[in-house]
Chain A
Amino acid sequence: MRSLVGAALLLLGMSALPVLAADGKDITARGTPDRAASCSPCHGQNGQGQPATGVPRLAGLNAQYFERQLESFKDGTRKNRIMLMIASDLTDGERKALANYYADMATPKPETAPADPAVIAAGAKLAATGDWSKDLPGCGQCHGAAGLGVGTDFPRLAGQWAVYIEKALRSWKAGDRKNDPMGVMANVANKLTDDQIKSVAAYYESLPVAAPVHNPDNKP
Protein backbone atom coordinates (compact mmCIF):
# COMPACT_ATOMS: atom_id res chain seq x y z
CA MET A 1 0.00 0.00 0.00
CA ARG A 2 2.66 2.44 1.07
CA SER A 3 4.79 1.52 -1.87
CA LEU A 4 1.86 2.32 -4.10
CA VAL A 5 1.54 5.71 -2.48
CA GLY A 6 5.27 6.18 -2.82
CA ALA A 7 5.15 5.23 -6.44
CA ALA A 8 2.30 7.61 -7.04
CA LEU A 9 4.22 10.41 -5.39
CA LEU A 10 7.27 9.57 -7.46
CA LEU A 11 5.19 9.81 -10.59
CA LEU A 12 3.99 13.17 -9.43
CA GLY A 13 7.58 14.32 -9.12
CA MET A 14 7.47 14.72 -5.34
CA SER A 15 10.05 12.10 -4.57
CA ALA A 16 12.33 14.15 -2.37
CA LEU A 17 9.59 15.55 -0.19
CA PRO A 18 7.56 13.67 2.34
CA VAL A 19 8.76 10.88 4.58
CA LEU A 20 6.05 8.77 3.08
CA ALA A 21 7.85 8.79 -0.20
CA ALA A 22 10.62 6.58 1.16
CA ASP A 23 10.18 3.25 -0.51
CA GLY A 24 11.75 0.25 1.17
CA LYS A 25 11.92 -1.92 -1.88
CA ASP A 26 13.47 0.85 -3.93
CA ILE A 27 16.18 1.52 -1.33
CA THR A 28 17.11 -2.14 -1.02
CA ALA A 29 17.70 -2.28 -4.76
CA ARG A 30 19.08 1.17 -5.57
CA GLY A 31 20.09 2.94 -2.36
CA THR A 32 18.87 6.47 -1.72
CA PRO A 33 19.21 9.82 -3.45
CA ASP A 34 21.46 10.83 -0.54
CA ARG A 35 23.83 8.06 -1.62
CA ALA A 36 23.12 5.43 1.00
CA ALA A 37 24.27 2.16 -0.49
CA SER A 38 21.61 -0.32 -1.46
CA CYS A 39 21.00 -3.36 0.77
CA SER A 40 20.51 -6.20 -1.67
CA PRO A 41 24.12 -6.72 -2.78
CA CYS A 42 24.96 -7.94 0.73
CA HIS A 43 21.64 -8.92 2.33
CA GLY A 44 20.22 -10.51 -0.79
CA GLN A 45 17.29 -9.58 -2.99
CA ASN A 46 14.90 -11.29 -0.61
CA GLY A 47 16.63 -10.31 2.60
CA GLN A 48 18.06 -13.79 3.00
CA GLY A 49 21.58 -12.68 4.05
CA GLN A 50 24.72 -14.71 3.46
CA PRO A 51 25.38 -17.86 5.45
CA ALA A 52 29.11 -18.02 4.77
CA THR A 53 30.08 -14.45 5.57
CA GLY A 54 27.64 -13.87 8.38
CA VAL A 55 25.65 -11.08 6.75
CA PRO A 56 22.39 -11.46 8.65
CA ARG A 57 19.06 -12.48 7.27
CA LEU A 58 16.71 -9.47 7.53
CA ALA A 59 13.51 -10.97 6.16
CA GLY A 60 10.81 -11.16 8.79
CA LEU A 61 12.60 -9.21 11.54
CA ASN A 62 10.36 -7.13 13.76
CA ALA A 63 10.16 -3.63 12.27
CA GLN A 64 10.79 -1.69 15.47
CA TYR A 65 13.72 -3.91 16.37
CA PHE A 66 15.12 -3.43 12.87
CA GLU A 67 14.76 0.34 13.01
CA ARG A 68 16.49 0.49 16.36
CA GLN A 69 19.44 -1.49 15.02
CA LEU A 70 19.92 1.08 12.24
CA GLU A 71 19.80 3.85 14.85
CA SER A 72 22.35 1.94 16.93
CA PHE A 73 24.78 1.66 14.00
CA LYS A 74 24.45 5.40 13.57
CA ASP A 75 24.92 6.34 17.22
CA GLY A 76 27.76 3.88 17.74
CA THR A 77 26.11 1.58 20.27
CA ARG A 78 26.54 -1.08 17.60
CA LYS A 79 30.00 -0.90 16.09
CA ASN A 80 30.15 -1.82 12.42
CA ARG A 81 32.06 0.30 9.92
CA ILE A 82 30.00 -0.46 6.85
CA MET A 83 26.65 -0.20 8.57
CA LEU A 84 27.68 3.04 10.28
CA MET A 85 28.15 4.67 6.88
CA ILE A 86 24.93 3.31 5.46
CA ALA A 87 22.79 4.02 8.50
CA SER A 88 24.13 7.57 8.66
CA ASP A 89 23.03 8.19 5.09
CA LEU A 90 19.42 7.16 5.75
CA THR A 91 16.68 9.53 6.88
CA ASP A 92 14.26 8.55 9.65
CA GLY A 93 11.59 7.91 7.05
CA GLU A 94 13.89 5.74 4.98
CA ARG A 95 14.85 3.67 8.04
CA LYS A 96 11.19 3.15 8.83
CA ALA A 97 10.37 2.23 5.25
CA LEU A 98 13.14 -0.37 5.19
CA ALA A 99 12.06 -1.77 8.54
CA ASN A 100 8.50 -2.27 7.35
CA TYR A 101 9.62 -3.65 4.02
CA TYR A 102 11.80 -6.34 5.56
CA ALA A 103 9.35 -7.14 8.36
CA ASP A 104 6.71 -8.15 5.85
CA MET A 105 9.08 -10.26 3.80
CA ALA A 106 8.44 -14.01 3.84
CA THR A 107 11.58 -15.51 2.41
CA PRO A 108 12.19 -19.23 2.61
CA LYS A 109 15.51 -20.27 4.08
CA PRO A 110 18.06 -21.18 1.43
CA GLU A 111 19.33 -24.75 1.76
CA THR A 112 22.73 -25.03 3.40
CA ALA A 113 24.75 -27.98 4.62
CA PRO A 114 23.47 -28.95 8.08
CA ALA A 115 25.78 -28.69 11.07
CA ASP A 116 26.89 -31.63 13.22
CA PRO A 117 23.74 -33.06 14.88
CA ALA A 118 25.53 -33.39 18.24
CA VAL A 119 26.39 -29.69 18.19
CA ILE A 120 22.80 -28.79 17.28
CA ALA A 121 21.49 -31.01 20.09
CA ALA A 122 23.76 -29.33 22.63
CA GLY A 123 22.51 -25.97 21.38
CA ALA A 124 18.90 -27.10 21.65
CA LYS A 125 19.37 -28.10 25.28
CA LEU A 126 21.06 -24.83 26.19
CA ALA A 127 18.38 -22.83 24.34
CA ALA A 128 15.62 -24.63 26.23
CA THR A 129 16.99 -24.80 29.77
CA GLY A 130 20.04 -22.54 29.98
CA ASP A 131 22.94 -23.19 32.34
CA TRP A 132 21.86 -22.13 35.80
CA SER A 133 25.17 -23.06 37.36
CA LYS A 134 26.10 -19.68 35.83
CA ASP A 135 22.65 -18.12 36.24
CA LEU A 136 22.27 -18.34 32.49
CA PRO A 137 18.66 -18.48 31.25
CA GLY A 138 17.79 -20.51 28.18
CA CYS A 139 17.67 -18.42 24.97
CA GLY A 140 14.09 -19.59 24.45
CA GLN A 141 13.02 -18.05 27.75
CA CYS A 142 13.20 -14.65 26.04
CA HIS A 143 13.20 -15.39 22.30
CA GLY A 144 10.41 -17.98 22.49
CA ALA A 145 10.57 -21.77 22.51
CA ALA A 146 10.61 -21.87 18.69
CA GLY A 147 13.01 -18.91 18.48
CA LEU A 148 10.44 -16.79 16.67
CA GLY A 149 11.14 -13.68 18.73
CA VAL A 150 8.96 -11.75 21.14
CA GLY A 151 7.67 -8.22 20.71
CA THR A 152 9.94 -5.41 19.69
CA ASP A 153 12.97 -6.22 21.84
CA PHE A 154 13.65 -9.93 21.45
CA PRO A 155 14.38 -10.67 17.81
CA ARG A 156 13.64 -13.85 15.88
CA LEU A 157 16.61 -16.21 15.92
CA ALA A 158 15.04 -19.12 14.06
CA GLY A 159 16.70 -19.52 10.67
CA GLN A 160 19.27 -16.79 11.31
CA TRP A 161 22.77 -17.68 10.07
CA ALA A 162 25.05 -19.31 12.62
CA VAL A 163 28.07 -17.24 11.58
CA TYR A 164 26.10 -14.05 12.23
CA ILE A 165 24.75 -15.23 15.61
CA GLU A 166 28.28 -16.14 16.69
CA LYS A 167 29.52 -12.72 15.61
CA ALA A 168 26.71 -10.98 17.45
CA LEU A 169 27.36 -12.87 20.68
CA ARG A 170 31.07 -12.10 20.45
CA SER A 171 30.34 -8.40 19.87
CA TRP A 172 28.31 -8.24 23.08
CA LYS A 173 31.09 -10.05 24.87
CA ALA A 174 33.66 -7.59 23.54
CA GLY A 175 31.48 -4.56 24.28
CA ASP A 176 31.25 -3.62 20.59
CA ARG A 177 27.52 -3.89 20.82
CA LYS A 178 25.81 -2.05 23.66
CA ASN A 179 22.29 -1.52 22.40
CA ASP A 180 20.63 -4.27 24.40
CA PRO A 181 17.97 -3.01 26.81
CA MET A 182 19.05 -3.42 30.46
CA GLY A 183 22.27 -5.06 29.27
CA VAL A 184 20.49 -8.42 29.02
CA MET A 185 22.57 -9.68 26.12
CA ALA A 186 25.89 -8.56 27.59
CA ASN A 187 24.93 -10.53 30.69
CA VAL A 188 24.12 -13.61 28.65
CA ALA A 189 27.04 -13.41 26.22
CA ASN A 190 29.60 -12.99 28.98
CA LYS A 191 28.47 -16.26 30.53
CA LEU A 192 28.76 -18.28 27.32
CA THR A 193 31.80 -20.39 26.49
CA ASP A 194 33.01 -20.52 22.87
CA ASP A 195 31.53 -24.00 22.53
CA GLN A 196 28.17 -22.82 23.83
CA ILE A 197 28.19 -19.91 21.37
CA LYS A 198 28.88 -22.30 18.49
CA SER A 199 26.20 -24.77 19.56
CA VAL A 200 23.35 -22.28 20.06
CA ALA A 201 24.24 -20.57 16.79
CA ALA A 202 24.14 -23.88 14.93
CA TYR A 203 20.86 -24.78 16.62
CA TYR A 204 19.10 -21.56 15.62
CA GLU A 205 20.36 -21.76 12.05
CA SER A 206 18.84 -25.25 11.88
CA LEU A 207 15.34 -24.10 12.87
CA PRO A 208 12.62 -23.45 10.32
CA VAL A 209 11.74 -19.88 9.51
CA ALA A 210 8.06 -19.29 10.07
CA ALA A 211 6.22 -16.75 7.99
CA PRO A 212 6.49 -13.29 9.51
CA VAL A 213 3.54 -12.19 11.55
CA HIS A 214 2.49 -8.74 10.53
CA ASN A 215 2.33 -6.46 13.52
CA PRO A 216 -0.46 -3.94 12.96
CA ASP A 217 1.22 -1.59 15.46
CA ASN A 218 4.05 -0.97 13.03
CA LYS A 219 2.31 1.92 11.36
CA PRO A 220 4.46 3.74 8.88
Chain B
Amino acid sequence: MSRNPVAPSVPAVAVLALAAAGFIGSMLSASAAAPLTGATPEQPPAAKTEAARPSYTPPADSDIPDGPFGDMIRLGEAIFHDTRHNAKGFVGNDLQCSNCHIDRGRQPNSAPLGAAYLLYPAYRAKNGHVNTFQERLQGCFRFSMNGKAPPFNDKVLVALETYAYFLAKGGPTGVAVKGQGYPKLKAPDQPADYDRGAKAYAQHCSLCHGGDGEGQKSADGQTVFPPLWGPRSFNWGAGMASINNAAGFIKANMPLGLGGSLSDQEAWDIATYMDSQERPQDPRFVESVAETRKRFHDEPTSKYGLVVNGVHLGEKSPPSGTIDAAD
Protein backbone atom coordinates (compact mmCIF):
# COMPACT_ATOMS: atom_id res chain seq x y z
CA MET B 1 0.00 0.00 0.00
CA SER B 2 1.52 3.29 -0.89
CA ARG B 3 0.60 6.74 0.14
CA ASN B 4 -0.95 9.23 -2.16
CA PRO B 5 2.13 10.85 -3.67
CA VAL B 6 0.54 14.22 -4.14
CA ALA B 7 0.76 16.60 -1.22
CA PRO B 8 -2.76 17.38 -0.17
CA SER B 9 -2.74 21.06 -0.91
CA VAL B 10 -5.97 22.26 -2.36
CA PRO B 11 -4.59 23.05 -5.81
CA ALA B 12 -2.95 19.67 -6.09
CA VAL B 13 -6.06 17.87 -5.00
CA ALA B 14 -7.94 19.90 -7.53
CA VAL B 15 -5.48 18.87 -10.18
CA LEU B 16 -5.92 15.24 -9.25
CA ALA B 17 -9.63 15.56 -9.42
CA LEU B 18 -9.38 17.39 -12.68
CA ALA B 19 -7.23 14.72 -14.15
CA ALA B 20 -9.50 12.06 -12.82
CA ALA B 21 -11.64 11.58 -15.83
CA GLY B 22 -9.59 13.02 -18.58
CA PHE B 23 -12.25 14.88 -20.41
CA ILE B 24 -12.37 17.81 -18.18
CA GLY B 25 -13.44 21.18 -18.98
CA SER B 26 -10.65 23.54 -19.11
CA MET B 27 -9.29 24.30 -16.25
CA LEU B 28 -7.69 26.06 -13.55
CA SER B 29 -6.76 29.46 -12.37
CA ALA B 30 -3.28 30.48 -13.39
CA SER B 31 -1.96 29.76 -9.91
CA ALA B 32 -3.13 26.18 -10.03
CA ALA B 33 -2.26 25.61 -13.64
CA ALA B 34 1.39 25.03 -12.89
CA PRO B 35 1.07 21.45 -11.65
CA LEU B 36 -0.37 20.47 -14.99
CA THR B 37 3.11 20.60 -16.45
CA GLY B 38 4.01 17.82 -14.06
CA ALA B 39 7.17 19.49 -12.84
CA THR B 40 6.40 21.61 -9.82
CA PRO B 41 7.22 21.19 -6.15
CA GLU B 42 3.67 20.02 -5.45
CA GLN B 43 3.82 17.31 -8.04
CA PRO B 44 6.98 15.30 -8.57
CA PRO B 45 7.80 14.23 -12.12
CA ALA B 46 5.16 11.96 -13.55
CA ALA B 47 7.33 8.86 -13.75
CA LYS B 48 8.10 8.86 -10.04
CA THR B 49 4.53 9.66 -9.15
CA GLU B 50 3.29 6.86 -11.34
CA ALA B 51 5.74 4.33 -9.89
CA ALA B 52 4.63 5.13 -6.36
CA ARG B 53 0.97 4.53 -7.10
CA PRO B 54 -0.85 1.34 -6.23
CA SER B 55 -2.44 -0.60 -9.03
CA TYR B 56 -5.58 -2.66 -9.17
CA THR B 57 -7.28 -4.58 -11.95
CA PRO B 58 -10.91 -3.92 -12.82
CA PRO B 59 -13.10 -7.02 -12.74
CA ALA B 60 -13.69 -8.98 -15.95
CA ASP B 61 -16.78 -8.69 -18.13
CA SER B 62 -17.74 -12.15 -16.90
CA ASP B 63 -17.95 -10.79 -13.32
CA ILE B 64 -21.01 -8.69 -14.14
CA PRO B 65 -23.82 -10.21 -12.08
CA ASP B 66 -27.22 -11.27 -13.40
CA GLY B 67 -30.33 -9.39 -12.38
CA PRO B 68 -31.29 -5.69 -12.31
CA PHE B 69 -27.94 -4.49 -10.96
CA GLY B 70 -26.02 -6.33 -13.66
CA ASP B 71 -28.43 -4.98 -16.27
CA MET B 72 -27.63 -1.44 -15.13
CA ILE B 73 -23.89 -2.12 -15.40
CA ARG B 74 -24.42 -3.45 -18.91
CA LEU B 75 -26.48 -0.41 -19.86
CA GLY B 76 -23.65 1.83 -18.63
CA GLU B 77 -21.19 -0.10 -20.74
CA ALA B 78 -23.48 0.18 -23.75
CA ILE B 79 -23.73 3.96 -23.27
CA PHE B 80 -19.97 4.15 -22.99
CA HIS B 81 -19.42 2.13 -26.14
CA ASP B 82 -22.13 3.75 -28.27
CA THR B 83 -23.04 7.01 -26.58
CA ARG B 84 -24.89 8.48 -29.49
CA HIS B 85 -27.49 5.73 -29.66
CA ASN B 86 -27.74 4.89 -25.99
CA ALA B 87 -27.76 8.41 -24.51
CA LYS B 88 -30.07 10.00 -27.03
CA GLY B 89 -30.86 13.63 -26.52
CA PHE B 90 -27.68 14.38 -24.58
CA VAL B 91 -25.03 14.06 -27.29
CA GLY B 92 -24.28 16.93 -29.68
CA ASN B 93 -21.41 15.56 -31.75
CA ASP B 94 -20.08 12.36 -33.32
CA LEU B 95 -18.01 11.11 -30.39
CA GLN B 96 -18.37 8.17 -28.04
CA CYS B 97 -17.04 7.99 -24.48
CA SER B 98 -14.83 5.12 -25.61
CA ASN B 99 -13.01 7.27 -28.18
CA CYS B 100 -10.93 8.85 -25.41
CA HIS B 101 -11.46 6.25 -22.69
CA ILE B 102 -10.10 3.25 -24.56
CA ASP B 103 -11.37 -0.29 -24.10
CA ARG B 104 -14.75 0.82 -22.76
CA GLY B 105 -13.12 2.83 -19.99
CA ARG B 106 -10.79 0.05 -18.87
CA GLN B 107 -7.46 0.99 -20.44
CA PRO B 108 -4.84 2.49 -18.09
CA ASN B 109 -3.51 5.91 -19.15
CA SER B 110 -6.65 6.74 -21.07
CA ALA B 111 -8.54 8.11 -18.09
CA PRO B 112 -10.01 4.76 -17.05
CA LEU B 113 -13.47 5.04 -15.57
CA GLY B 114 -12.92 2.93 -12.45
CA ALA B 115 -9.88 4.95 -11.42
CA ALA B 116 -11.90 8.15 -11.83
CA TYR B 117 -14.73 6.81 -9.70
CA LEU B 118 -12.29 6.18 -6.86
CA LEU B 119 -11.49 9.92 -6.68
CA TYR B 120 -15.01 11.27 -6.27
CA PRO B 121 -16.60 13.23 -4.66
CA ALA B 122 -13.92 15.89 -5.14
CA TYR B 123 -13.48 19.62 -4.96
CA ARG B 124 -12.92 21.02 -8.44
CA ALA B 125 -11.42 24.39 -9.16
CA LYS B 126 -13.27 24.34 -12.46
CA ASN B 127 -16.53 25.15 -10.72
CA GLY B 128 -15.34 25.93 -7.20
CA HIS B 129 -17.29 23.35 -5.24
CA VAL B 130 -17.37 19.68 -4.27
CA ASN B 131 -18.61 17.61 -7.20
CA THR B 132 -20.25 14.21 -6.97
CA PHE B 133 -19.36 11.66 -9.63
CA GLN B 134 -22.69 12.29 -11.36
CA GLU B 135 -21.95 15.99 -11.62
CA ARG B 136 -18.57 15.11 -13.09
CA LEU B 137 -20.32 12.96 -15.70
CA GLN B 138 -22.66 15.85 -16.51
CA GLY B 139 -19.57 17.83 -17.46
CA CYS B 140 -18.58 15.11 -19.93
CA PHE B 141 -21.89 15.52 -21.74
CA ARG B 142 -21.77 19.30 -21.69
CA PHE B 143 -18.20 19.69 -22.89
CA SER B 144 -16.73 16.53 -24.40
CA MET B 145 -19.94 15.40 -26.02
CA ASN B 146 -20.93 18.98 -26.91
CA GLY B 147 -24.41 18.11 -25.74
CA LYS B 148 -26.42 18.76 -22.64
CA ALA B 149 -26.18 17.36 -19.15
CA PRO B 150 -28.62 14.61 -18.26
CA PRO B 151 -30.50 15.58 -15.08
CA PHE B 152 -29.31 14.07 -11.78
CA ASN B 153 -30.44 10.47 -11.42
CA ASP B 154 -31.42 10.28 -15.06
CA LYS B 155 -31.07 6.67 -16.12
CA VAL B 156 -28.09 7.59 -18.31
CA LEU B 157 -26.15 8.92 -15.31
CA VAL B 158 -27.26 6.10 -13.02
CA ALA B 159 -26.11 3.54 -15.59
CA LEU B 160 -22.73 5.23 -16.12
CA GLU B 161 -22.19 5.59 -12.38
CA THR B 162 -23.08 1.94 -11.83
CA TYR B 163 -20.71 0.85 -14.58
CA ALA B 164 -17.93 3.01 -13.10
CA TYR B 165 -18.58 1.59 -9.63
CA PHE B 166 -18.31 -1.92 -11.07
CA LEU B 167 -14.99 -1.09 -12.75
CA ALA B 168 -13.66 0.47 -9.53
CA LYS B 169 -14.23 -2.73 -7.54
CA GLY B 170 -11.18 -3.60 -5.45
CA GLY B 171 -9.47 -0.26 -6.01
CA PRO B 172 -8.45 2.03 -3.14
CA THR B 173 -10.95 4.82 -2.52
CA GLY B 174 -9.52 8.32 -2.60
CA VAL B 175 -6.21 7.22 -4.07
CA ALA B 176 -4.84 7.92 -7.54
CA VAL B 177 -3.97 4.48 -8.91
CA LYS B 178 -1.48 3.58 -11.64
CA GLY B 179 -2.71 4.60 -15.06
CA GLN B 180 -5.33 7.00 -13.68
CA GLY B 181 -6.11 10.01 -15.88
CA TYR B 182 -3.76 10.71 -18.76
CA PRO B 183 0.02 10.60 -18.40
CA LYS B 184 1.65 13.92 -17.57
CA LEU B 185 4.34 14.31 -20.19
CA LYS B 186 7.49 16.23 -19.41
CA ALA B 187 7.73 19.54 -21.21
CA PRO B 188 8.97 18.91 -24.76
CA ASP B 189 12.66 19.42 -25.68
CA GLN B 190 11.69 22.00 -28.27
CA PRO B 191 8.66 24.24 -27.81
CA ALA B 192 5.63 22.48 -29.30
CA ASP B 193 5.11 23.62 -32.86
CA TYR B 194 1.97 23.88 -35.00
CA ASP B 195 3.72 23.28 -38.34
CA ARG B 196 5.66 20.29 -37.09
CA GLY B 197 2.39 19.04 -35.62
CA ALA B 198 0.66 19.39 -38.98
CA LYS B 199 3.34 17.26 -40.63
CA ALA B 200 3.26 14.62 -37.92
CA TYR B 201 -0.54 14.60 -38.04
CA ALA B 202 -0.49 13.97 -41.79
CA GLN B 203 1.97 11.14 -41.28
CA HIS B 204 0.49 9.38 -38.25
CA CYS B 205 -3.14 10.44 -37.80
CA SER B 206 -4.81 11.41 -41.06
CA LEU B 207 -5.14 7.81 -42.28
CA CYS B 208 -7.94 7.36 -39.77
CA HIS B 209 -9.04 10.83 -38.66
CA GLY B 210 -8.95 12.36 -42.14
CA GLY B 211 -6.75 15.07 -43.62
CA ASP B 212 -8.77 17.82 -41.96
CA GLY B 213 -9.63 16.16 -38.66
CA GLU B 214 -13.13 15.42 -39.89
CA GLY B 215 -13.08 11.74 -38.91
CA GLN B 216 -14.49 9.00 -41.13
CA LYS B 217 -17.79 7.19 -41.40
CA SER B 218 -18.46 3.71 -42.72
CA ALA B 219 -20.67 2.94 -45.68
CA ASP B 220 -23.76 2.86 -43.43
CA GLY B 221 -23.15 6.40 -42.21
CA GLN B 222 -21.89 5.43 -38.74
CA THR B 223 -18.90 7.37 -37.43
CA VAL B 224 -15.97 5.00 -37.08
CA PHE B 225 -13.07 7.39 -36.61
CA PRO B 226 -14.00 10.35 -34.45
CA PRO B 227 -13.67 13.93 -35.71
CA LEU B 228 -10.90 15.73 -33.81
CA TRP B 229 -12.05 19.27 -34.55
CA GLY B 230 -14.80 21.10 -36.39
CA PRO B 231 -18.52 21.22 -35.58
CA ARG B 232 -18.92 17.51 -34.74
CA SER B 233 -16.07 17.20 -32.24
CA PHE B 234 -15.60 18.10 -28.55
CA ASN B 235 -16.09 21.77 -27.70
CA TRP B 236 -13.68 24.36 -26.30
CA GLY B 237 -14.67 23.54 -22.75
CA ALA B 238 -13.56 19.89 -22.94
CA GLY B 239 -10.44 18.58 -21.25
CA MET B 240 -9.13 17.31 -24.58
CA ALA B 241 -9.00 20.94 -25.77
CA SER B 242 -6.14 21.42 -23.29
CA ILE B 243 -2.88 20.63 -25.00
CA ASN B 244 -1.33 18.86 -22.01
CA ASN B 245 -4.23 16.39 -21.75
CA ALA B 246 -4.24 15.77 -25.49
CA ALA B 247 -0.48 15.22 -25.54
CA GLY B 248 -0.66 12.67 -22.72
CA PHE B 249 -3.57 10.86 -24.35
CA ILE B 250 -1.90 10.80 -27.77
CA LYS B 251 1.42 9.57 -26.40
CA ALA B 252 -0.15 6.70 -24.48
CA ASN B 253 -2.89 5.64 -26.88
CA MET B 254 -2.38 6.79 -30.45
CA PRO B 255 -2.34 5.59 -33.17
CA LEU B 256 -4.95 3.13 -31.90
CA GLY B 257 -3.25 -0.14 -30.99
CA LEU B 258 0.16 1.48 -31.42
CA GLY B 259 0.19 3.53 -28.21
CA GLY B 260 3.65 4.64 -27.11
CA SER B 261 5.02 4.60 -30.66
CA LEU B 262 5.19 8.39 -31.05
CA SER B 263 7.89 10.45 -29.38
CA ASP B 264 6.95 12.90 -26.62
CA GLN B 265 7.84 15.71 -29.00
CA GLU B 266 5.49 14.36 -31.69
CA ALA B 267 2.70 14.00 -29.12
CA TRP B 268 3.13 17.62 -27.98
CA ASP B 269 3.32 18.89 -31.57
CA ILE B 270 0.27 16.94 -32.73
CA ALA B 271 -1.70 17.99 -29.64
CA THR B 272 -0.79 21.60 -30.33
CA TYR B 273 -1.89 21.29 -33.95
CA MET B 274 -5.18 19.59 -33.01
CA ASP B 275 -5.99 22.04 -30.25
CA SER B 276 -5.28 25.04 -32.49
CA GLN B 277 -8.30 24.29 -34.67
CA GLU B 278 -11.82 25.63 -34.47
CA ARG B 279 -14.36 23.56 -32.58
CA PRO B 280 -17.76 24.22 -31.00
CA GLN B 281 -17.96 27.21 -28.68
CA ASP B 282 -17.33 26.93 -24.94
CA PRO B 283 -20.83 26.62 -23.44
CA ARG B 284 -19.70 28.87 -20.57
CA PHE B 285 -19.13 31.74 -23.03
CA VAL B 286 -19.49 35.15 -21.37
CA GLU B 287 -19.57 38.54 -23.11
CA SER B 288 -16.68 38.04 -25.53
CA VAL B 289 -13.99 35.62 -26.60
CA ALA B 290 -11.41 37.67 -24.71
CA GLU B 291 -13.46 37.62 -21.51
CA THR B 292 -14.15 33.90 -21.89
CA ARG B 293 -10.45 33.23 -22.31
CA LYS B 294 -9.66 35.32 -19.26
CA ARG B 295 -12.14 33.42 -17.13
CA PHE B 296 -11.73 29.86 -18.33
CA HIS B 297 -8.74 29.51 -20.62
CA ASP B 298 -6.05 31.80 -19.29
CA GLU B 299 -3.18 29.35 -19.52
CA PRO B 300 -0.54 28.26 -22.04
CA THR B 301 -2.25 24.90 -22.55
CA SER B 302 -5.25 26.51 -24.26
CA LYS B 303 -5.26 28.24 -27.64
CA TYR B 304 -8.80 29.54 -27.16
CA GLY B 305 -9.02 33.25 -27.93
CA LEU B 306 -5.58 33.36 -29.55
CA VAL B 307 -4.84 33.98 -33.20
CA VAL B 308 -3.36 30.92 -34.89
CA ASN B 309 -2.71 30.87 -38.64
CA GLY B 310 -4.69 34.06 -38.99
CA VAL B 311 -7.72 32.51 -37.28
CA HIS B 312 -8.94 34.12 -34.07
CA LEU B 313 -9.94 30.91 -32.30
CA GLY B 314 -13.33 31.14 -30.62
CA GLU B 315 -14.56 34.05 -32.76
CA LYS B 316 -16.26 31.89 -35.37
CA SER B 317 -16.77 28.73 -33.37
CA PRO B 318 -19.70 26.56 -34.38
CA PRO B 319 -22.44 26.57 -31.72
CA SER B 320 -22.15 24.39 -28.64
CA GLY B 321 -24.82 22.00 -27.44
CA THR B 322 -26.07 21.13 -30.88
CA ILE B 323 -28.50 18.30 -30.22
CA ASP B 324 -30.03 16.94 -33.40
CA ALA B 325 -33.77 17.34 -33.65
CA ALA B 326 -33.89 13.64 -34.47
CA ASP B 327 -32.44 12.73 -31.08
- Chain A contacts for B126, CB-based, 8 A: none
A146 located at the interface, meaning its Cβ lies under 8 Å from any Cβ of chain B in the complex: yes
- Chain A contacts for B81, CB-based, 8 A: 128-129
Q: Is the interface of B mostly helix, strand, loop or mixed?
A: mixed
Residue on B with the closest CB to A151?
Answer: B216
CB-contacts of A153-168 with B (<8 A): 153-154, 156
CB-contacts of A69-126 with B (<8 A): none
> What is the distance, in angstroms, from B251's C-beta to the closest C-beta of chain A?
14
- Chain B contacts for A153, CB-based, 8 A: 207
Can you list, as one digit per residue, whether each of B195-227 has a CB less than 8 Å from chain A (1) or not (0)?
Answer: 000000000100110000000111110101100
B293 located at the interface, meaning its Cβ lies under 8 Å from any Cβ of chain A in the complex: no
CB-contacts of A122-154 with B (<8 A): 128-130, 132, 135-137, 140-146, 148-151, 153-154
A9 located at the interface, meaning its Cβ lies under 8 Å from any Cβ of chain B in the complex: no
* Residue from B103, B104, B257 within 8 A of A187 (CB atoms): B257
> What is the distance, in angstroms, from B82's C-beta to the closest C-beta of chain A?
8
Of the candidates B106, B218, B222, the one having the most CB atoms from chain A within 10 angstroms of its own CB is: B218
B257 with A182: CB separation less than 8 A: no
B255 with A182: CB separation less than 8 A: yes
B257 with A156: CB separation less than 8 A: no
Cα A153 to Cα B208 with chains together (Å): 9
> What is the distance, in angstroms, from A141's C-beta to the closest C-beta of chain B?
6
B258 located at the interface, meaning its Cβ lies under 8 Å from any Cβ of chain A in the complex: yes
Interface size on B, residues (CB 8 A): 22
* Residue from B104, B218, B255, B257 within 8 A of A150 (CB atoms): B218
A213 located at the interface, meaning its Cβ lies under 8 Å from any Cβ of chain B in the complex: yes
A182 with B219: CB separation less than 8 A: no
B27 located at the interface, meaning its Cβ lies under 8 Å from any Cβ of chain A in the complex: no
A135 with B259: CB separation less than 8 A: yes
B131 located at the interface, meaning its Cβ lies under 8 Å from any Cβ of chain A in the complex: no
CB-contacts of B237-270 with A (<8 A): 255-259
B107 located at the interface, meaning its Cβ lies under 8 Å from any Cβ of chain A in the complex: yes
* Residue from A130, A148, A150, A181 within 8 A of B225 (CB atoms): A150
> What is the distance, in angstroms, from A118's C-beta to the closest C-beta of chain B?
15
B102 located at the interface, meaning its Cβ lies under 8 Å from any Cβ of chain A in the complex: yes
- Chain B contacts for A144, CB-based, 8 A: 218-220, 222, 224
B222 with A146: CB separation less than 8 A: yes
A184 with B257: CB separation less than 8 A: yes
Please judge, given known A-B contacts A137-B256, A187-B257, A187-B258, whether A150 and B224 are in contact too, CB under 8 Å. yes
> What is the distance, in angstroms, from B150's C-beta to the closest C-beta of chain A?
24
A188 located at the interface, meaning its Cβ lies under 8 Å from any Cβ of chain B in the complex: yes
A210 located at the interface, meaning its Cβ lies under 8 Å from any Cβ of chain B in the complex: yes
A132 with B224: CB separation less than 8 A: no
* Residue from B216, B224, B257 within 8 A of A136 (CB atoms): B257
- Chain A contacts for B106, CB-based, 8 A: 132
Residue on A with the closest CB to B110?
Answer: A132
Please judge, given known A-B contacts A144-B224, A182-B207, whether A135 and B219 are in contact too, CB under 8 Å. no
* Residue from A129, A149, A182 within 8 A of B218 (CB atoms): A149
> What is the distance, in angstroms, from B327's C-beta to the closest C-beta of chain A?
19
Cα A156 to Cα B219 with chains together (Å): 9
* Residue from B102, B204, B257 within 8 A of A188 (CB atoms): B257
Can you list, as one digit per residue, whether each of A189-220 has a CB less than 8 Å from chain B (1) or not (0)?
Answer: 00000000000000000000010110000000
- Chain B contacts for A187, CB-based, 8 A: 257-258
* Residue from B207, B220, B225, B258 within 8 A of A210 (CB atoms): B220
Residue on B with the closest CB to A156?
Answer: B219
Q: List 24 A-B contacts (CB under 8 A).
A: A129-B81, A129-B103, A141-B256, A142-B256, A143-B224, A144-B219, A144-B220, A145-B224, A146-B220, A148-B218, A148-B220, A150-B216, A150-B219, A150-B224, A181-B207, A182-B255, A182-B258, A184-B207, A187-B258, A188-B257, A210-B219, A210-B220, A212-B219, A213-B219
Listed from nearest, the 6 A-B pairs whose CB atoms lie closest are A144-B218, A132-B103, A148-B219, A213-B219, A137-B257, A150-B224
Given contact pairs A146-B220, A182-B255, A213-B219, enumerate 19 new A-B contacts (beta carbons under 8 Å): A128-B81, A129-B103, A132-B106, A132-B107, A137-B256, A142-B208, A142-B256, A143-B218, A144-B222, A146-B218, A148-B219, A149-B218, A149-B219, A150-B218, A150-B219, A153-B207, A182-B204, A182-B258, A184-B258
Residues of B within 8 A of A (CB): 81, 102-104, 106-107, 204, 207-208, 216-220, 222, 224-225, 255-259
